[in-house]
Amino acid sequence: MHTVVVEPLPVGWRVVASADSGDQYFLSGKSAEISARRLAQRLASAGEMTELVLRLRGGALAARYLCLPPVRPTEPPLVIETPGVKRPMPEAEGDPAPA
């Protein structure tokens, strides 16, 4: 299973992935979250179950999702929010944390 994490930096945000994709750096949390979500879904589409973790400024957990490989190649990956964190997964909105 791969893990993709969005975490705050003193200036900006970082996307860290267990896959050998290298760290990505962003000035906005929105951009980091969109990139992380796309990466997690690409990994799931390739057959790898992937955990997506979004952290707030200060390190608290904002959201956690599991991206499961699609049942059929023509379908998108299944994204499931894990229990304990109540936050919808927006399509392309919002900063994962207030600045």
In this predicted model, what pLDDT tens digit does every residue of 52-97 receive, in sequence order? Answer: 999 998 888 999 999 999 988 888 898 888 876 555 444 444 444 4
Question: For the whole model, what pTM was predicted?
Answer: 0.78
Distance in angstroms (rounded) separating the CA atoms of residues 6 and 56: 9
Distance in angstroms (rounded) separating the CA atoms of residues 70 and 76: 6
Of the candidates 25, 15, 20, which has an alpha carbon nearest to the alpha carbon of residue 43? 20
pLDDT of residue 85: 54
- Token digits of residue 98: 């207030």
